[in-house]
Chains A and B, each alone.
Chain A
Amino acid sequence: MSPEAGPLGVPRPARVRIAVAANAVAAVWYFAWLLHPDRIGNPWLYALLLAAEAFNLVQAAGFWWTVLHDRGQQQPSPKPMPTSRVDVLVPRYDEPEDVVGPVLQAAAAMRGATVTVYLLDDGDSLEMELLAAQCGVRYLTREHHEGAKAGNINAALARTDGEFVVVFDCDHVPHPDFLVRTLGHLSDPRTAFVQTPQYYTNADRNPVAAAASSQQALFFGSIARGKAALGAMFCCGTNVVFRRAALESVGGFPERSLTEDFELSINLQERGWRTAYVPEVLAHGLGPQDMAGYVSQQLRWARGCLSALGRLARATLPLRVKAQYLLSSLYFLSGWTALIYMSLPVVRILTGEQPVAAATADAFLLHFAPYFALALTTVAVAGAGTYRFAAFAVATASFWIHVTAALMTLARRRGSFVVTPKTGSGSWQPLSVWPALLAMLVLLLSAAWGLARSQDAGMVNNVAFAVMHLSVLGTGVAWALRPAALARRAAAGLPQGDSRWRSTVDHHGIAAVKGAPSREPVPAP
């Protein structure tokens, strides 16, 4: 029987192995051809192409390594610990009541332990205090709002004493069995935290959230399962259960980082703590509602992960863990490769210079096509179809975010923690994607100019490359330019709101847990 692909996708390990093996052979076939000295055309362009290809090969190899450790099938959960005392922390900054309320209600309704829910309000809002009272949860605020989310949690840690600490972003609604499915993994006293996936319910009706969700699905599916098997899963900031002792051993969340969760994981791993991952969707959150939100989120992640590279380099970690963490951090340089790939046809059209020489297009295609096709196949197979074109297009159209983050990191410019907006503007947002629009304009003008100048096969080939990039970028920025129309389109025929729970429940058998209702009503925030 084949495993059914749930929201995270469960691949067939045999297929993954075959795909990876074929991909590795194709990579050797391609690079052996590319690295031949006769291939050097314009040395500068060749060097750029080689750098981009090498970077992608490293990332690809890391991906293969990770997904080869994904066993797909979920391990049975250890027995829950119903007598445990758990503090549930819900940090809040400026999110509205209709977003926060459902989270508090759902958190208070969690089973499997003695739960105390705290709303950590950095917004000092009276309405929130009232809401907390209505929901029967405790309300905490602090005098000095330092250290952003990390500081908020640390302040709460000092005022609570539960054996375990759960952190939910204030837009992530937990399932009632969240603790039932996770706490057992902390029965091993060496385990510092149990992470669960982030899942965006608004992917049903918002294209940007859908694209982000597709990216998340690949990460929280094969990649996270593989990392967990390698002992290298890191904390993602929400939907996570900590052992208080572990947090206290590293002094709580690092407050000077933009990605406090990532650096916290490094700290914990350095102290010898283990990590665990439960690949079940146990909380539903809200993804970025528009491109501005997506850009803000990605920029923060990219800057945080890239700025953590130094810390990571210095960290004393097992090699496999360090390598895995490095791969995750370095992913945020991949925008540079997209920039290089887009530039090459423009340079060829405008100047006639090209990176690869002494080779016919036929030879290039013969060596490149199998590598390319198998690389995509591997992503498709390992991700069990969860990674979609929309996710790829948005990621590519956001190439400039990685470039900007890298430059800011190099310049040692500090950034501030920006909460991802939970409500979209639903309006035209060309400014949020202006670098991508600029790239499109350059590609378009180059292609037009090239075709006007010559219609030979070489020119047509490079114009086709430009058109390909234009199409991908165009898809990626479309949601910034016509959000309303595309949202309507995305909503057509897709399941809405809590219907997602049903697929989660069906695929992962949560409903089979004795006493659990078959359909838990979880309001869509």
Chain B
Amino acid sequence: MTATSAPALTTPRERIKRGLDVVQAARHQGLVTTAQLIAGVGNLAVTLVLIRVLPPGEYAGFVAFVAAYVLLRAVAAGATAAVALDPRLHGRFAPRALGLGVAVGVLVVAASGALASVTGLSVPAVVTLGAVAPGAAAMALARGRLYGEERALGTAATLVAEPLARALVALLLVPLFGATGAVIAVGAAGYLALASALLSARRGPSRPVDVPELTNRGSAAVASAFLLVAVVASQDVVLANRLLPGGEAGTLAAVATLGGAAYFATATIPLVLMPRSARGGRGSMAVAVSLTVALSLAAVAAVAAVPDAWYPLLLGEAYGGVQTLALPYVSAMAALGLAQVLLAQLCAVRRPGVAVGLGALAATVQLLLLLGAQTAGDVVTATVVSCALLLAGAGTATWLTARPVATPAGRLVPAGIDVAVEPPSVSQQALDVAARRRFFSGVPWLLLAAVVTGVTLRLLVTRGIWVDEAISIRQAQQPWLEMIAQLREFDVHPPLYHSVLWLVVHLTGSTSEWVVRLPSLVAGTALIPLFYVMGRDLWDRRTGLVAAWLVAVSPAAVWYAQEARMYAFWMLGTTLVAWAQLRIQRHGRGRLADWSVFTVSSVALMYTQWFTVLPLVVHHLVFAVFAVRQARGGQWGLVRRWSSSVLVSLAAVAPLVPLLLGQIGGVKSVTAGSAAIAGQAGAANSQMAAGNPDAYAVIANAVWALWGYHAASAMVLLGALWPLMLLLAFAALGRGRSRAVVVLGLVALLPPLLLFAIGFERRQFFELRYFTSTVPLLLLLVARLVASWPRGPVTRVVVPVVVAASLMAGLADQQLNHSNPRTYDFRGAAAWIDDRADGDDVLLYAPGFLHDELTYYSAGIPIVQVGTQLPPTPAGGRTVFVLGSFFEREGVSAQVGSALSQLKTSGARLVARHETANVTVWQYEVEGP
């Protein structure tokens, strides 16, 4: 018996009604948006007039007042969204809001003297602020009711009324009272707009409220979601003022002004959307998204079309450098506007909690990134990242809520049987909402918490740029073709990661630490939700949650998500490939979508890391066994699709062959000559001692994979705990194992096993970085174990928590303990030198492959490799810094010792010696000739 879905039945009448709905939605949105644009232009016009009328000092006071007023309105604006979704809230909250507003106003007025001295505002301005507080709260609710009752004209009227009133009152009062008059005009305009809103609400019969009632908790969530979007839109400017030097902060302010205009233009769209969408108005979402995209693209296109030379003319010479940042920032604000529309849709389908979670995540990410920002470019990148994250999250969540829902009409029915479609007893809207709720009950808060924790940990404590990262950064700054040629000649990696890095560097124009690490951060963070979805898909929701948490706090996952190298990509791709394979095996010959993911991810992995070939071979061996079994049963579907996948993969990987051959040639010549190749100059130094791989090497790699990198002394003690592995082996007796566990186990363990064998010939290959792909699979297996073995109600909670806590302990030691042999603090060393150096000084360094590193962390003085000729000493003498690292490498100690000896012999005086993690700096004073 086959099954098919019953076709969706629509009548011409329904189609006409749908068309009318769309037209109405478009008209409504168009009217309100036009009013919003007029309001924006009006406010701008008033501001421009005041700039010319008021003296600079008074204008500054006025701007400060407006900023405080906008903040007040922004806080209240969340309430607008909640009331828009359920206009009945107006009646419920209006008295309380008014009371609260009056209380705040009285307090502000009472404390006006103190507040004036603290804020720098004039006392009349503070008093005015207190006076407008009740109005701001009432305005938020009144406008919300207009949106909620879908009173387009009334909404438009109140939007336009405000700048109009502001202009008129200002015209009257500014000549009399100056800035105070302008301030009063702003407050009065607010009250006039409120009056307009209240009057509009009374005019004509209101639309009957036919949306489900919003609870207090729900309304708070909706308000919070919109507030968080406002935070994302504005906290960059606030923090930039505190964190950046004046010039950089000014640049950002200029950029933010442009971006703010783009965001402002679309701000009303979600508010118009929500009530329509909540009552099941068809086409409203499409109209809202289309309008937002159109306005956003227009803004982006306008900014892109402005010639660079115009910026100094428009904004002044001081802002000549704004053009490189304007486009990404305006794009970010456009993305934020679109994200806000999507979040509004989530609120409309009664999932405001998801919207709050996403908003909180974006705001947190942005805040963490902002705290590390050093330039306006960094701030812009922070905003771009957080807005992109929010848009991606909101888009995914909205898509998931919009998935087809199993309804009585859409149930699976046997083919060839006519089904009489009975009208459902409940409304379609109710069914949709219920289904969406069911889906999102599966996206728990614990997952969101894991993502937030994971992102925080990945941003919180970072190490300086490592030697190999510095090489990648240098390569990424070259033209793309030149970079590829460099890779071919001097590197040992395929080009995908480098190309991504190249794109990021060239798009942002920045090589700051976290910009170059952004791709890894994104890939490393993406692992967290991927683990959840994969765990839930392969086993159960509990395993998904445990897996998400384990990878969120996994030291190895955090480490590589903080490194501007390809390992985070590798982990992400490996996980995708494994998941795709298991899904394929679950469905006989496999679904095309899964085969596509498998093939594309496999190819992408081959373009990321050559050692991917090992897990891929295991994947295909598993497929081979599976295919043989199916073929024996006369089923050839899998064989055909597998063969196609292999052929497509081979064809896609074929272009890599010349690069690979070039790199092999490079490796041969390098091994015959110098000690290391550029692509991984520092790799050898993070490996274990020489000699054959042994049991402790296995333990060490296992510890690295799960608990991260630690000092040698800690590794010895951890290695001594191996008897606990016996306990684990005993505990595994009689435990069930799924196909997923077996396949993941094979793909996780066979590559390191092979590299262990190869290690007897080439010791350096038995090292975690060459089988990083094992890390995510091992974590998934641990997650499965932790999620499924404990049976008791207490142990089911305690065991996952204890395992996660042990990983966090490992993470803390890895990140904070500078005895970690893999931590090289070149950043700290360079900063130390920078504090003491001036232009005539010189920095000697060894070994030679630190060149890229010290170029990246330039201390502003010439760098010279130990053993080469120093520039002549100026007459006034100079300071010579000697930086040494990697002393365990052959010859390095001798080189540094020789340099120090020569300096001593030449009469130089040792002033200071600075030691930081695995790096030592000597400071010598050299007399002039």
Check if A460 sits within 8 Å of B721, measured CB to CB.
Answer: yes
Contact of A361 among B720, B726, B735 (CB under 8 A): B720
| Interface membership of chain A positions 472-501, coded 1 if the CB is closer than 8 angstroms to chain B and 0 otherwise | 100000000000010001101100000000
With A391-B734, A489-B791, A492-B791 in contact, do A455 and B717 touch (Cβ < 8 Å)? yes
Check if A464 sits within 8 Å of B734, measured CB to CB.
Answer: no
Residues of chain A in range 123-175 having any CB-CB distance to chain B below 8 Å = none
Bound together, the chains give a CA A492 to CA B795 distance in angstroms of: 13
| Residue A461, interface by CB 8 Å | yes
- Determine how close the nearest CB of chain B comes to the CB of A371; give it in whole angstroms: 12
Which chain B positions have C-beta within 8 A of A410? Answer: none
**Closest chain A residue to B736, Cβ basis:** A385
Bound together, the chains give a CA A158 to CA B78 distance in angstroms of: 94
Check if A362 sits within 8 Å of B730, measured CB to CB.
Answer: no
Bound together, the chains give a CA A178 to CA B695 distance in angstroms of: 53
| Interface membership of chain B positions 822-843, coded 1 if the CB is closer than 8 angstroms to chain A and 0 otherwise | 0000000000000000000000
Residues of chain B in range 684-732 having any CB-CB distance to chain A below 8 Å = 694-696, 699, 716-717, 719-724, 726-727, 729-732
- Determine how close the nearest CB of chain B comes to the CB of A10; give it in whole angstroms: 15
**Closest chain A residue to B718, Cβ basis:** A460
- Determine how close the nearest CB of chain A comes to the CB of B251; give it in whole angstroms: 55
Bound together, the chains give a CA A7 to CA B10 distance in angstroms of: 55
Interface range on chain B (Cβ under 8 Å from partner):
20 to 34
Check if B730 sits within 8 Å of A389, measured CB to CB.
Answer: yes
Residues of chain B in range 720-769 having any CB-CB distance to chain A below 8 Å = 720-724, 726-727, 729-736
Which chain B positions have C-beta within 8 A of A388? Answer: 733-735
Which chain A positions have C-beta within 8 A of B735? Answer: 385, 388-389
Check if A457 sits within 8 Å of B733, measured CB to CB.
Answer: no
Bound together, the chains give a CA A362 to CA B688 distance in angstroms of: 15
- Determine how close the nearest CB of chain A comes to the CB of B732; give it in whole angstroms: 7
With A455-B717, A492-B791 in contact, do A385 and B723 touch (Cβ < 8 Å)? no
With A467-B723, A472-B727, A489-B791 in contact, do A387 and B694 touch (Cβ < 8 Å)? no
Bound together, the chains give a CA A391 to CA B733 distance in angstroms of: 9
- Determine how close the nearest CB of chain B comes to the CB of A439; give it in whole angstroms: 16
Check if B729 sits within 8 Å of A373, measured CB to CB.
Answer: yes
**Closest chain A residue to B721, Cβ basis:** A464
Check if B722 sits within 8 Å of A372, measured CB to CB.
Answer: no
Check if B720 sits within 8 Å of A362, measured CB to CB.
Answer: no
Check if A214 sits within 8 Å of B727, measured CB to CB.
Answer: no
| Residue A250, interface by CB 8 Å | no
Check if B791 sits within 8 Å of A464, measured CB to CB.
Answer: no
Check if B695 sits within 8 Å of A379, measured CB to CB.
Answer: no
- Determine how close the nearest CB of chain A comes to the CB of B518; give it in whole angstroms: 41
Check if A457 sits within 8 Å of B719, measured CB to CB.
Answer: yes
Which chain A positions have C-beta within 8 A of B732? Answer: 376, 380, 389
Which chain B positions have C-beta within 8 A of A468? Answer: 723-724, 726-727
Bound together, the chains give a CA A399 to CA B735 distance in angstroms of: 24
Which chain B positions have C-beta within 8 A of A372? Answer: 726, 729
With A455-B717, A457-B719 in contact, do A467 and B733 touch (Cβ < 8 Å)? no
Contact of B733 among A361, A376, A460, A465 (CB under 8 A): A376
With A366-B695, A465-B723 in contact, do A385 and B716 touch (Cβ < 8 Å)? no
| Residue A458, interface by CB 8 Å | yes
**Closest chain B residue to A466, Cβ basis:** B723
| Residue A512, interface by CB 8 Å | no
Check if B694 sits within 8 Å of A471, measured CB to CB.
Answer: no
Bound together, the chains give a CA A461 to CA B724 distance in angstroms of: 9
Bound together, the chains give a CA A52 to CA B694 distance in angstroms of: 27
| Residue A365, interface by CB 8 Å | yes
Which chain A positions have C-beta within 8 A of B722? Answer: 365, 461, 464
| Residue B792, interface by CB 8 Å | yes
With A362-B696, A372-B726, A376-B729 in contact, do A385 and B720 touch (Cβ < 8 Å)? no
Chain A contributes a number of interface residues (CB within 8 A of B) equal to 38
Contact of A464 among B696, B716, B724 (CB under 8 A): B724
Which chain A positions have C-beta within 8 A of B730? Answer: 376, 389, 392-393, 472
Which chain A positions have C-beta within 8 A of B726? Answer: 372, 468
Check if A362 sits within 8 Å of B734, measured CB to CB.
Answer: no
With A455-B717, A457-B717, A468-B723 in contact, do A387 and B695 touch (Cβ < 8 Å)? no
| Residue A202, interface by CB 8 Å | no
Which chain B positions have C-beta within 8 A of A391? Answer: 733-734
| Residue A386, interface by CB 8 Å | yes
**Closest chain A residue to B726, Cβ basis:** A468
| Residue A25, interface by CB 8 Å | no
Residues of chain A in range 178-213 having any CB-CB distance to chain B below 8 Å = none
Which chain A positions have C-beta within 8 A of B729? Answer: 372-373, 376
Contact of A457 among B716, B731, B734, B736 (CB under 8 A): B716
Contact of A392 among B699, B723, B733 (CB under 8 A): B733
Bound together, the chains give a CA A214 to CA B727 distance in angstroms of: 19
Residues of chain A in range 309-350 having any CB-CB distance to chain B below 8 Å = none
| Residue A369, interface by CB 8 Å | yes
Check if B695 sits within 8 Å of A464, measured CB to CB.
Answer: no
Bound together, the chains give a CA A386 to CA B736 distance in angstroms of: 10
Check if B734 sits within 8 Å of A385, measured CB to CB.
Answer: yes
Which chain A positions have C-beta within 8 A of B720? Answer: 361, 457-458, 460-461, 464
Which chain A positions have C-beta within 8 A of B727? Answer: 467-468, 471-472
Bound together, the chains give a CA A215 to CA B793 distance in angstroms of: 26
- Determine how close the nearest CB of chain A comes to the CB of B749; give it in whole angstroms: 12
Q: Which residue, B719, B734, B736, B791, has most C-beta atoms of chain A within 10 A?
A: B734
Bound together, the chains give a CA A390 to CA B791 distance in angstroms of: 13
Bound together, the chains give a CA A472 to CA B736 distance in angstroms of: 20
**Closest chain B residue to A455, Cβ basis:** B717
Which chain B positions have C-beta within 8 A of A383? Answer: 734
Residues of chain A in range 483-524 having any CB-CB distance to chain B below 8 Å = 485, 489-490, 492-493
- Determine how close the nearest CB of chain B comes to the CB of A466; give it in whole angstroms: 9
Check if A362 sits within 8 Å of B695, measured CB to CB.
Answer: yes
Which chain A positions have C-beta within 8 A of B716? Answer: 457
Contact of B734 among A214, A465, A489 (CB under 8 A): A214
Which chain B positions have C-beta within 8 A of A464? Answer: 720-724
Which chain B positions have C-beta within 8 A of A380? Answer: 732-734
Bound together, the chains give a CA A380 to CA B716 distance in angstroms of: 32
**Closest chain B residue to A377, Cβ basis:** B729
- Determine how close the nearest CB of chain A comes to the CB of B714; give it in whole angstroms: 11
| Interface membership of chain A positions 350-390, coded 1 if the CB is closer than 8 angstroms to chain B and 0 otherwise | 00000000000111011001001100100110010111111
Check if A387 sits within 8 Å of B696, measured CB to CB.
Answer: no
Bound together, the chains give a CA A458 to CA B720 distance in angstroms of: 7
Bound together, the chains give a CA A163 to CA B724 distance in angstroms of: 57
Contact of A365 among B695, B724, B733 (CB under 8 A): B695
With A489-B791, A492-B791 in contact, do A386 and B721 touch (Cβ < 8 Å)? no
Q: Which residue, B716, B719, B724, B733, has most C-beta atoms of chain A within 10 A?
A: B733
Bound together, the chains give a CA A373 to CA B732 distance in angstroms of: 11
With A372-B729, A376-B729 in contact, do A386 and B717 touch (Cβ < 8 Å)? no
Which chain A positions have C-beta within 8 A of B724? Answer: 464, 467-468
Check if B731 sits within 8 Å of A389, measured CB to CB.
Answer: yes
Which chain B positions have C-beta within 8 A of A465? Answer: 723
Extra contacts, 17 of them, besides A376-B730, A467-B724 (Cβ < 8 A), are A361-B696, A361-B720, A362-B695, A365-B722, A376-B729, A380-B733, A385-B734, A387-B733, A388-B735, A389-B732, A457-B716, A461-B720, A461-B723, A467-B727, A468-B723, A468-B724, A492-B791
26 cross-chain CB contacts under 8 A = A363-B695, A376-B733, A379-B733, A380-B733, A380-B734, A385-B734, A385-B736, A388-B733, A388-B734, A389-B730, A389-B735, A392-B733, A393-B730, A457-B719, A458-B720, A460-B720, A460-B721, A461-B722, A464-B720, A467-B723, A467-B727, A468-B723, A468-B726, A472-B727, A490-B791, A493-B791
Query: Which residues of A line the B interface, CB within 8 A?
Result: 214, 361-363, 365-366, 369, 372-373, 376, 379-380, 383, 385-393, 455, 457-458, 460-461, 464-465, 467-468, 471-472, 485, 489-490, 492-493
| A-B pairs with lowest CB-CB distance, top 10 | A388-B734, A365-B695, A461-B720, A464-B723, A460-B720, A457-B720, A465-B723, A366-B695, A468-B727, A489-B792
